[in-house]
Amino acid sequence: MLPMFDYLKPRSLDDALALIATTPKAFPIAGGTNLLVDVRSGKVQPEALVEVGFLDELCGIRKEGGEIVIGAGTTIAELLSDPMIESQLPVLHAASTTFANTLIRNRATIGGNLANNAPCADTAPALLVLDASVELASVRGKRSIKLEEFLTSPFETVRAVDELILAVRVSVPPRAAIGRFRKMGLRKISCMAKVDVAVLLDFNSEGICVDARIAMGAASPVARRAVDAEATLVGNPLHPERIRRAADQTAQAAVPRPGSEYKQQVVRSMVTKLLDDIAREGGDRRG
């Protein structure tokens, strides 16, 4: 059985924030697919769980100007079935299709995935290339923080114990931008990534890359962008030589655990494949 804890269901966001702030060892719970596993194993020992997934402020996906705001309590299944995500954030949609499995997707939330910050969190690389910000709230107020800064070390984030993730905010990439995601695990579904990679590239009408973002997960202690590789691509057409260099640089930016050095090779290959695809598609688009 799970160890004892209290369960608190707040009436409002303010109520929830107050409960989290004042109850010792209180953890917010929404989908619970990470948290309950950690509670069961003893990795997390809460005295209380505070239900947050149902709060209005954490629900729904909405567009605000050029940005999309995804409530932290949005389940992966909701992400997958949202037409706006599919059409405007295809890289996140693609990452969601590889997330755990069908049953888990109905419970697991995007906020939970980021709060847990497993090195292999599937939404992290996709959100990194979307330049996502995490919106946090506490009784002390609200703040917004870049996802790169939010994810600090494995299973650690900058979220203070009294803070709650309200939403993830991303700017919608330009229409011409192309996003891609790829995951490798020991099996095809329902497993932790060995490596996952997300890329998002934007080109001008001459086919010059004007913005490049590459992120990888599971190949380093924390999901991270490969800034050198991005710089290699920006300002140039997506030629094979550039792709090779960017792939090498991404691989070099990976910091796999000792014994898992092969992951650098996997990163190199996955980046190459994704960029090759984009190069082909870009060529097709321009006819």
Partner 1 sequence: MLEHVTPKPLPDVDLPTLKQVGKPLRRVDALGKAVGATVYAADFAMPNMLHAKVFRSPFPSARIAKLDVETARALPGVACVMTGEDTHGAKLNTDLPGQTGRAARAGSDAPVLASDIVRYVGEPIALVAAESIAIAEQALRLIEVEFEELPAVFDPEDALRPDAPILFEPDNVVAKYAIRKGDLAAGMADADLVVENTFTMPFIEHAYLEPDAGVAWVDEQGVINIRVCTQVVEHFRSIARALNVPQNKIRIRGTMVGGGFGSKEDVTVEIFLAFLARETGRPVKLEYTREEAFAATSKRHPFVVTHRTGVKKDGRITASEIKMVADSGAYPYLTPYVLLYATGMAAGPYKVDNLHVDSVAAATNQTFTSAFRGFGGPQAALGYEQQMDEIAKTLGLDSLEVRRINYLKRGETTTTGQEVKSAAWSEECATRAVHALGDRAPSTETRRIGRGMASYFQSYGRIMWFHDTSQAWVGLEQDGTVVLRCGVPDIGAGQSNSICQIAAELLGVPLERVTIYSTDSAVTPLAGTSTATRQLYMSGNAVTLACNEIRSRLLKRASESLGVAEEALDLGESRVFAISDSSKAIDLPDLAKLCASEGIGLSHLAQFNAPFTDGLDPETGQGDIWPDFTFGAHAVELAVDTETGEIELLKSAACHDVGRAINPAAVRGQICGGSHQGLGYALMEDFELKDGYIQTPSFAEYLIPTVLDFPTTDAIILESGTGVGPFGAKGIGEPALTPAAPAVANAVADALGVRIHDLPLTPKRILDAVQRSGRKDDGTAE
Partner 2 sequence: MADPITITLRVNTRVHNIGVEPRATLLHTLRELGHTDVKNGCEIGECGACAVLLNGEPVNSCMVLAVQADGATITTNAGLGTMEKPHLIQAAFADAGAVQCGFCTPGMVIATKALLDRNPNPSEHEIREALSGNLCRCTGYGQIVDGVKLAAKRLASSRQTGGASC
Assign 3-class secondary structure to 156-171.
EECCCCCCEEEEEEEE
For the bound state, the minimum distance from the C-beta of residue 190 to partner 1, rounded and expressed in Å, comes to 5
For the bound state, the minimum distance from the C-beta of residue 242 to partner 2, rounded and expressed in Å, comes to 35
Does 7 help bind partner 1 (rule: CB under 8 A)? Answer: no
The tokens for 221 are: 């202690």
Report what 100 binds from partner 2, partner 1, none; CB cut-off 5-8 Å by kind: partner 2
- Distance from C-alpha of 183 to C-alpha of 120, rounded to nearest angstrom: 10
Q: Which of 12, 22, 37, 43 binds partner 2 (CB under 8 A)?
A: 37
Q: Which of residues 74-103 bind partner 1 (CB under 8 A)?
A: 101
Does 184 help bind partner 1 (rule: CB under 8 A)? Answer: yes
Does 160 help bind partner 1 (rule: CB under 8 A)? Answer: no
Contact 58, 30 (CB under 8 A): yes
Contact 280, 238 (CB under 8 A): no
Does 28 help bind partner 2 (rule: CB under 8 A)? Answer: no
Q: Which of 12, 14, 22, 40 binds partner 2 (CB under 8 A)?
A: 40
Report what 186 binds from partner 1, partner 2, none; CB cut-off 5-8 Å by kind: partner 1
Q: Which residues pair with 50 in a beta bridge?
A: 8, 28
Q: Which of 10, 16, 33, 268 binds partner 2 (CB under 8 A)?
A: 33
Residue from 253, 190, 179, 247 nearest 213 by CA: 179
- Distance from C-alpha of 11 to C-alpha of 5, rounded to nearest angstrom: 19
Sign of CA dihedral 101, 103, 108, 109: positive
Contact 149, 113 (CB under 8 A): no
Does 4 help bind partner 2 (rule: CB under 8 A)? Answer: yes
Does 3 help bind partner 2 (rule: CB under 8 A)? Answer: yes
Q: How far is CA 186 from the centre of its chain?
A: 20
Does 22 help bind partner 2 (rule: CB under 8 A)? Answer: no
Contact 158, 149 (CB under 8 A): yes
Does 5 help bind partner 2 (rule: CB under 8 A)? Answer: yes
Residue 210 exposed, middle or buried by CB count within 10 Å (0-12, 13-18, 19+):
middle
Q: Which of 87, 106, 190, 204 binds partner 1 (CB under 8 A)?
A: 190
Does 265 help bind partner 1 (rule: CB under 8 A)? Answer: yes
Interacting stretch for partner 1, rule CB under 8 A, among 18-26, 170-178, 208-216, 265-273? 265-273
Report what 102 binds from partner 2, partner 1, none; CB cut-off 5-8 Å by kind: partner 2
Contact positions vs partner 2 (CB under 8 A): 1-7, 9, 29, 31-33, 36-37, 40, 47-49, 51, 77, 100-104, 106-107, 189-190
